Amino acid sequence: MAVAPDPSHGAVSRHRRRRLDVRVVPHRRRSAFRLRDWRMRTKLGAVLVVPSIAFLVLAGAQTGALVSQAGQLGEFADQVGVGREITALIHELQRERDQTAGELAALASAPGGQLEPGQALPALEPVYPVADRAINQFRVAAEPLARGEASWRISYDRVDEALKRLPEVRAAVPAAGLTPNPVLSEYDRVIEVLLVLLAEPSPGTDRADLTDAVLRYVEFAQVKEVNSKIRGHLYAAARAGRYEPTDLVALTDLRAQQLTGLADFRLSATDRQIERYNSAAGNPNFVAAVRMEETTFASGDRIATVLKPTTWWTISQQRQDLLRQVEAGAVADAVDLAESRSGEQLRRTLLTAGGVLAVLLAALFTSIAIGRSVASSLRMLRSQALRVAQIELPETLERLRTGDPVAAEFEVPPADVRSMDEIGEVAEAFVAVHRSAVTVALEQAVMRRHVNAMFVNLARRSQVLVERQLELLDELEQDEGDPDQLENLFKLDHLAARMRRNDDSLLVLAGTEATRRWNRPVLLSTVMLAAVAEIEQYQRIRHNVADELYIVGHAVADLVHLLAELLENASSFSRPDTVVRIDAASQRDGSVLVEIVDEGLGMSPTALEQANEVLAVPPAADVSASERMGLFVVSHLAARQGVRVRLRPTDSGGLLATVWLPANLLASAPASEPMDGRGRRMLTVVAGAVAGTNGTHPPAGGRPGGGVPGEAAQARRTVRRETPTRAEDVLGQASDGGPEPGSTWWARQGRSGSAALSATPHAPLPTGNAPPAVPVTGGIKPSGLPIRVPMAQLPVKSEPVRPRIPVQREEPDPEQVAGTLSRYYSGVRRAEAEDTIVMPMAPAGARSEEEQY
C-alpha cells in the first residue's frame, strides 16, 4: 500500500503526522504582494468593503429616486400634452351641444314638436364630422398613456365609455324635441368627464409650480364651460322666441359661476396669461357679445330681451373662439413648464447615473479580480473533492471490495490548489482526510475479508457436520422399526435440514455462492415444492402454478432458498389454523409473478417500509442481520438473480409477498421432457407428501414408501409421515429419479433415502388413490431386509383438505407484539454484553483443550 505523503508537494509531513495531530506544511514562503496568497479574511473583507462603498455612493446620489422622478415627470409632461387634444375636443363638443340645444328649442316650438325617427337635423350635419375628427385626434394622443398611472387610466376609461355613447345621443336628437334635457345632459356628462381627465396630471407633492400650472388651465377651462352653457341657454331661448321660467334662474346661476371662476383664474394666473385674457376681452367681437348678453338681464321694470338667433350665435361663437385662444395659451404654458422640468430631471438623472456607473465599474473590476482568485481556488477544490468523492474513493473501495486488500497498492495524489490561503489549507487537509479514509477503508476491507472468511469456514464446517448428521439419520431411519422412535428421527431430520439452510444463509451473507447447485431447467412448481420441503409447517402451504414454467438451472438453488425464507416467515407469523397460499403466473413481458399470501399478524406501516427498503437495496451484513437473517438473505439472493421482492399488507390483516422473476430466469423445457409415467407419478407423490394433503399412513421403518419384511409387521407398526421430503429429494425425483451430471445437490455418498433411489432400480409405482396391498420394494439388502422405495405407499392423488374454521379470537396489536419482541431482544443483548467471568473446571481425569488438539 503506497500512501506515504510527500512534503515536497504540500502534503502532510511524515515526521509531524500523528494519529490525532495532522498539520499542513507550506511548500513555499507566503508573499504579501501575491493576491492568491492573501488570507481569506482579507479577501472577504475586500469583496465586502468595495461593494459597500459603491452602495453608499449609489444611495447618497439617490439615483433610484432621480430615475423614478424623471419617469414621473416624463409621464406628467405627456399627460399635460394630451391637454391640447382634450381642450380642443371640449371646444367642439360645447359647440355641438349649444347648437343642438337651439335646434331642439326650435323644433319644440314648431308644429308637431319632433321629427320622424331616423330623420336628421340639417343644421347639425356639418357639426358632427368636426367633433369626430377631434375625438380621433384625442384617442391617438391619449391611448398610449392609458396603461400608465392608475387614476389617469380610470378617468380615461370613463371618457372612452362616454364617447362611445355619443352616436346614440346624436341618434336620439330628432325625437327629443319636446324633452331636450336628457340629450343635453348626456353632452354635459361627456364634457364633465373630459374636464376631470384634464385635471388628472399630477407631478407630486414637491412640484407646486407644475401643480399650479395645471390648476390654471383647468380653472379657465371651467370658466369657458360656464360661458358655453350661457351661450346655449340664450341660443335656445332665441330659437324658441321666448324664455322658459327655468331659463332665467339657470342664467342667473351660470353668470354667478362665471364671475367666481374668472376671479379664481385671475388670482392663480400668471401675468402673461392675464394679459392674454385682457387682450381677448378687449376685442370688439368679445365686447359686442358681452353687451348683447347684458340685454338679457331682467332687472327692475326691464324685461329680458329675446335675442336674434343668427346674430347671437355668430357673435357668441366669436367670443368662444377668443376664450379658446386664452385656454390654449394656458395649456401651452403648462406643457412647456412640464417639459422643461422633465428635461432638467432627466439630465440630472443621467449625470448622477453616469457617476454611479463609473464608481460601480471600478468596484466591479476590483471585485472581479479578487473574486476570480477566490473562485479559481474554490473551483479547483470543488473539482478535487468531486473527483475524490465520485471517482477515486469509490474506485478504491470497489477495488478493496473485489480484490485482495493485502496485495493492493493505493496512491493519494497531492492537492490541486496551490495557494497559501485558507482554501489551500482546506485542500491539503482534504488530501489528509482522503489518505485517512483510504487507510481506514483498507483496514475495514481486511477485517471484513477476515470476518467473511471466518463465516465461510464456520458455515462450511457446520455444513459438513450437518451432512454427516443427515447421513446418520438416513441410516437410523432405514433400520428403525419403532413408529414413535421413527417419528422422532423424522423431526431430527427436519431440524438438520433447517440447520443446513441456516448455513447456506451465512454463506449468502458472506458473499459466497451456495454449495448446492442444479444445472438443468426445473419446473417452477417443483421449485416451489422444494421450497416447501425446507420449512417446518409444510402442511399449511397451498401452491398453484398457472402455466408450465421452467427455471434455469443456475437459479434453482437461490430461488428455493429465497422462497423457503418467505414461506418460513409467512407460516411462523400466522395462526396455525390458517393456510399460506403461493401462486405463480406468467406476465405479458415474459416475466413471472409469484405471490405468497398469509393471514398473520401483519406489520406496521413503518416496519413495512423499512423491510421494503432492505429488500430493494441489499445492505451490508451487520448486527441487525443476525436478528432478521431471513430478510437480509432474501434481499441478497434477489439482488444476485435480478429478482424483485416487495411486501404489502392484505385486506385481511396479513402480508402479501410479491416475487417478480425476470424473463432471463425462465427456460424452455429440457430435452428429456415430458416425463414418463413413473416420473409423473413420483412428482405427484412428492407433491402430496410436501403439501401434507393425504391421510394415509406410510409403513413403519422410515419415510413414506418404506417397508419392512412381512405384511404383519407392516400392520402392527404404522406411523403418519409428518415431515416432508427434503428439497434434493423433490428435485431429484422431479428429474426422473436422478440428478443431472454436474449438479451438486447430492453431496452425501451412501445415503439411504433418495441417494439410494438413484442407485437402485425401482419397482413401478401403483396408480389409484389407495396404497398398494403388497409393499413396494427396491430389492433386497445383503442383510436380507427389503430396500424401501420412498413414498411408494402414498396415493398418487390426494383429496383436498377441508378448510379449517378459524377460531374467533381477538387479534393482537402488531405494534404491541413488535414492541414486546424488541424489548425481549434488547434484554438478551444487554445480558450478552455484561462482563461475566466464567472459570471452567475440568472434571477429574479430563484433558485440557491444549491436550485435545
Contact status, residue 742 vs residue 769, Cβ threshold 8 Å: no
Contact status, residue 477 vs residue 702, Cβ threshold 8 Å: yes
Query: Residues 6 or more apart from 574 whose CB is under 8 A from it?
Result: 580, 598, 599, 600, 601, 654
Torsion angle in degrees (nearest 10) through CA of 487, 488, 494, 498: 160
Which has more confidence, 347 or 733? 347
Closest CA to 326 of 259, 279, 274, 277: 277
The pLDDT value recorded for residue 140 is: 92
Closest CA to 162 of 197, 209, 201: 197
- How confident is residue 114, by pLDDT bands cut at 50, 70 and 90? low
Strand order across the beta sheet in which 522-523 lies: 522-523, 550-551, 666-667
Contact status, residue 61 vs residue 182, Cβ threshold 8 Å: no
What values do phi and psi take at 488, rounded to 5? -65, -35
Mean pLDDT of 390-396: 83
DSSP SS3 for 262:
helix
Dump pLDDT digits (tens) for 500-538.
Answer: 888 887 778 777 776 667 778 888 988 998 888 888 888
Query: Residues 6 or more apart from 575 whose CB is under 8 A from it?
Result: 599, 600, 806
The pLDDT value recorded for residue 191 is: 93
Mean pLDDT of 617-643: 79
Provide the CATH number for the domain formed by 516-674 in this structure.
Answer: 3.30.565.10
Instruction: Say how far apart CA 819 and CA 822 lie, in whole Å.
Output: 5
Domain spans in the chain, listed from the N-terminal domain onward: 67-344, 516-674, 676-805
pLDDT beyond 60 at 49: yes
Strand order across the beta sheet in which 580-586 lies: 541-545, 580-586, 592-597, 655-661, 644-649
- How confident is residue 808, by pLDDT bands cut at 50, 70 and 90? low
Count of CB atoms situated within 10 Å of the CB of 90: 25
DSSP structure class, residue 721: -
Instruction: Say how far apart CA 164 and CA 158 lie, in whole Å.
Output: 10
Give, to the nearest 10 degrees, the angle between helix 309-387 and helix 208-240. 150
| Across 287-296, 308-317, 738-747, least confident range | 738-747
Q: What is the mean pLDDT of the chain?
A: 75
pLDDT beyond 70 at 470: yes
Instruction: Say how far apart CA 487 and CA 483 lie, in whole Å.
Output: 6
Parallel, antiparallel, or unpaired: how do β-strands 550-551 and 592-597 relate?
unpaired
Report which residue type is found at 563: L
Which has more confidence, 462 or 128? 128
Count of CB atoms situated within 10 Å of the CB of 387: 13
Instruction: Say how far apart CA 66 and CA 71 lie, in whole Å.
Output: 8
The pLDDT value recorded for residue 553 is: 87
- b or e along 704-721 (b: 16 or more beta carbons within 10 Å of the residue's beta carbon)? bbbbbeeeeebeebebeb
Helices (H), ranges, 723-844: 727-734, 754-759, 814-833
Contact status, residue 17 vs residue 5, Cβ threshold 8 Å: yes
> What are the C-alpha distances in Å from 305 to residues 107, 263, 299, 780, 851?
21, 27, 11, 158, 155
Contact status, residue 635 vs residue 651, Cβ threshold 8 Å: no
The pLDDT value recorded for residue 21 is: 38
Closest CA to 556 of 395, 479, 700, 670: 670
| Across 424-438, 479-493, 565-579, 621-635, least confident range | 621-635
Closest CA to 561 of 542, 534, 537, 579: 534
Give, to the nearest 10 degrees, the angle between helix 127-142 and helix 150-164. 160
Instruction: Say how far apart CA 319 and CA 285 lie, in whole Å.
Output: 6
Closest CA to 658 of 569, 582, 572: 582
Tally of CA atoms within 13 A in the half-sphere of 426 that contains its CB: 13
Contact status, residue 465 vs residue 458, Cβ threshold 8 Å: no
The pLDDT value recorded for residue 713 is: 34
Element (H, E) at 678: helix 677-691
pLDDT beyond 60 at 69: yes
DSSP structure class, residue 126: T
Mean pLDDT of 72-83: 87
Parallel, antiparallel, or unpaired: how do β-strands 580-586 and 541-545 relate?
parallel
- All three cell numbers of 307: 335675442
Mean pLDDT of 207-225: 90
The pLDDT value recorded for residue 313 is: 93
Q: What are the counts of helices (DSSP H) followed by strands (DSSP E) for the chain?
A: 25, 10
Which has more confidence, 803 or 725? 725
The pLDDT value recorded for residue 413 is: 79
Proportion of the chain above pLDDT 90, given as a percent: 21
Proportion of the chain above pLDDT 70, given as a percent: 71
- All three cell numbers of 293: 348678453
DSSP per position, 483-535: HHHHHHHHHHHHHHHHHHHHHHHHHHHTT---S----S-EEHHHHHHHHHTTS
- How confident is residue 433, by pLDDT bands cut at 50, 70 and 90? confident
Instruction: Say how far apart CA 653 and CA 673 lie, in whole Å.
Output: 42
User: Which residue in this structure is represented by grid cell 475586500?
Assistant: 46
Q: For residue 174, say if its preceding peptide bond is cis, omega within 30 degrees of 0.
A: no
The pLDDT value recorded for residue 322 is: 93
Contact status, residue 558 vs residue 625, Cβ threshold 8 Å: no
Tally of CA atoms within 13 A in the half-sphere of 745 that contains its CB: 29
Dump pLDDT digits (tens) for 276-309.
Answer: 999 999 999 999 999 998 888 877 677 888 889 9
DSSP SS3 for 190:
helix
Closest CA to 89 of 329, 327, 335: 327
Instruction: Say how far apart CA 239 and CA 106 lie, in whole Å.
Output: 5
Contact status, residue 96 vs residue 317, Cβ threshold 8 Å: no
Closest CA to 550 of 514, 523, 576: 523
Which has more confidence, 287 or 56? 287
Q: Most confidently modeled of 61-75, 444-458, 631-645?
A: 631-645
Count of CB atoms situated within 10 Å of the CB of 119: 10
Element (H, E) at 235: helix 208-240
The pLDDT value recorded for residue 207 is: 82
The pLDDT value recorded for residue 780 is: 66
Contact status, residue 425 vs residue 39, Cβ threshold 8 Å: no
Burial (Cβ within 10 Å: 0-12, 13-18, ≥19) of residue 122: exposed
> How open is the CA angle 264-267-270, to the nearest 5 degrees?
120
Closest CA to 53 of 274, 261, 364: 364
- All three cell numbers of 6: 510527500
Instruction: Say how far apart CA 665 and CA 641 lie, in whole Å.
Output: 8
> What are the C-alpha distances in Å from 810 to residues 246, 287, 570, 602?
99, 114, 20, 14
Query: Residues 6 or more apart from 62 whose CB is under 8 A from it?
Result: 352
- All three cell numbers of 626: 443476525
The pLDDT value recorded for residue 30 is: 64
Radius of gyration of the chain (CA): 55
